[in-house]
């Protein structure tokens, strides 16, 4: 089976997640859709955000929570559904740096394993990520490393994607592919 690989980029609160869910509903054609959540609830505010996002997804979606091993979650999701949403690569890169920062090779291994899994296209895969290329260069080294890691990952995913959409104030704009927005 082959599928469509879609990357949805945008700033904070640009409508990326909402648009990803809309595409998944359309592409899932009434079948269960996998939602892979990379967020971790480190504080009360994040717990509330995660709960709110869960409530926004109706019964059509099943959730796999995986902060680190994204390729394993994608394989698990594709075993249950031909359409998956990964929300989001932004937090996944943060998690890799937070948990694996002292071992850069493990970060590269996770990234490469994910890129290999993503290219298998066993179904539709909709990936959500923040666009970081329009911001300022951060003052501290760890934040610069994070921006570099996420920017490089976004570029690799965009190159491999069939479709790339950027969200601006809730409006989807096609950058690559024949996206129906």
Catalytic residues: 53
Q: Would you give the DSSP letter of residue 140?
A: S
H-only helix segments in the chain:
16-28, 44-56, 70-78, 89-100, 104-118, 141-160
User: CA 71: distance to chain centroid?
Assistant: 12
Q: Say how far apart CA 4 and CA 21 lie, in whole Å.
A: 15
């Amino acid at each position: 089976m082959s599928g469509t690989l879609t990357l949805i980029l945008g700033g904070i609160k640009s409508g990326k997640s909402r648009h990803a869910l809309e595409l998944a509903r359309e592409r899932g054609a009434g079948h269960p859709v996998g939602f892979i959540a990379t967020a971790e609830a480190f504080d009360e505010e994040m717990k509330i955000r995660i709960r709110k996002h869960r409530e926004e997804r109706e019964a059509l979606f099943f959730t796999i929570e995986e902060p680190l091993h994204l390729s394993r979650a994608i394989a698990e999701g594709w075993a249950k559904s031909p359409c998956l949403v990964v929300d989001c690569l932004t937090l996944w890169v943060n998690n890799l740096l937070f948990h694996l920062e002292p071992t850069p090779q493990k970060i590269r291994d996770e990234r490469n394993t994910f890129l290999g899994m993503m290219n298998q296209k066993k179904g539709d895969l909709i990936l959500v990520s923040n666009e970081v290329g329009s911001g300022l260069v951060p003052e501290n080294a760890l934040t610069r490393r994070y921006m570099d890691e996420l920017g490089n990952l976004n570029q690799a995913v965009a190159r491999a994607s069939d479709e790339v959409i950027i969200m601006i104030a809730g409006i989807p704009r096609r950058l690559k592919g024949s996206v129906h927005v």
